[in-house]
Amino acid sequence: MKINKKLMAIMMTLAIGGALVGCSVGDKPAVSPDQEVTTPEVTPEEEGTPEGGEVESALKADITTMTEGLELPMMNAMMEDMFKDTYGIDTNLLKDYYVDMPMMMVHSTEIAIFELNDEADADKIMEGIEKRQQFLADQWQTYLPDQYELVQNYKTAVKGDKILFVVSEYADKIVENFNAMN
């Protein structure tokens, strides 16, 4: 019985050691500190669509302006594919849109701004916002009560051809900043 335990311990040691050695061998050559690493320069014409369908939008600057000085969680742009699934808004109704969502899924904060082609389509955009808010409410209902409360207290604002959707502890301030923008 003692031989089996020793044999098992040796086999485990070899397996762990093999895994560590296997993980340490890489395909990339090591770079010494005195070597210079260069990256190819990319011109705007070569960039094209960002990897993963990230949305490029002039409205990102509006969100940055509206949230300046506020302590928000780390945010990331919602990918185009995810936008279609979560909001269900026909992008043909929009001139532009931008959605900021948290990088870590322990925050319910979300800020979305939509620029419409035709203000008459505002009801359709609001339906998409309500769909998204209901999804967020269902998601946070049993997870984190403080985040669920933020989702329940979401704000929307309409100004001309733009619609804002905010889930944040600073929602009132963000809406105020939105309404003060040109």
- Residue 133 scores a pLDDT above 90: yes
Query: Rounded distance, CA 49 to CA 85, Å?
Result: 20
162-171 pLDDT tens trace? 999 999 999 9
CB atoms within 10 A of CB 169: 18
What percent of the chain shows pLDDT beyond 70?
Answer: 77
Query: Rounded distance, CA 41 to CA 157, Å?
Result: 41
pTM over 0.85: no
Beta bridge partners of 126: none
pLDDT at 98: 97
Please give the average per-residue pLDDT across 2-9, as a whole number.
70
55-99 pLDDT tens trace? 578 899 999 999 999 999 999 999 999 999 999 999 999 999 999
The answer to whether residues 179 and 159 touch, using CB atoms and an 8 Å cutoff, is yes
Please give the average per-residue pLDDT across 97-125, as a whole number.
96
Residue 118 contacts by C-beta under 8 Å, 6 or more apart in sequence?
93, 161
More confident: 43 or 153: 153
What does pLDDT average to over the chain?
A: 84
pLDDT at 86: 94
- Residue 21 scores a pLDDT above 80: no
- Residue 44 scores a pLDDT above 90: no
